[in-house]
Amino acid sequence: MRQKTLTTKPSDIERRWWVVDAEGQNLGRLATKIAQVLSGKNKPIYAPNLDVGDYVIVINCEKIAVTGNRMDSKIYYRHSHRMGGLKSITLREQLEKHPDRVITSAVRGMLPKNIRGRAMLTKLRVYSGSEHPHAAQQPEVLEL
């Protein structure tokens, strides 16, 4: 009797919507769990050549927790591609101005650095308040 190898096809992929409350969550541990769900590694049909992940909505991103003195020592850099165009901002300032970029940046670093990773990142929605406009998708609460 011969066994068949089951391979995941794009028609087999069923995407779900998850909502995560980031209030009081550790930034790194939260980003790790979100990256696993976005890439689909929590599913039995995971295939490394396909994007089988789900959509993730993160709320209350301005209320995350970090350990130690990382609020003042962690620095985010960006460059304008001009001479002397390097800008730096601390985690504390980033949480005040653009709190969604903190979680997006942490999750981006944990996804593959290729076309699939960029496609996975488009399924991440981050909001600073407790409200989100995705009630029509009926997201389920993801316990971390």
58: domain CATH number is 3.90.1180.10
SS (H, E, C) the chain: CCCCCCCCCHHHCCCCEEEEECCCCEHHHHHHHHHHHHHCCCCCCCCCCCCCCCEEEEECHHHCECCCCHHHHCEEEEECCCCCCEEEEEHHHHHHHCHHHHHHHHHHCCCCCCHHHHHHHCCEEECCCCCCCCHHHCCEECCC
27, part of any domain:
yes
10, part of any domain:
no
Query: How does pLDDT run across 84-141, given as a tens digit for each residue?
Result: 999 999 999 999 999 999 999 999 999 999 999 999 999 999 999 999 999 999 999 9
26, part of any domain:
yes
* Domain tally, the chain: 1
Query: How does pLDDT run across 94-107, given as a tens digit for each residue?
Result: 999 999 999 999 99
49, part of any domain:
yes
30, part of any domain:
yes
Instruction: Give the pTM.
Output: 0.92
> Residue 128 is part of which domain span?
16-66+100-141
23, part of any domain:
yes
7, part of any domain:
no
Query: How does pLDDT run across 9-48, given as a tens digit for each residue?
Result: 989 899 999 999 999 999 999 999 999 999 999 999 999 9
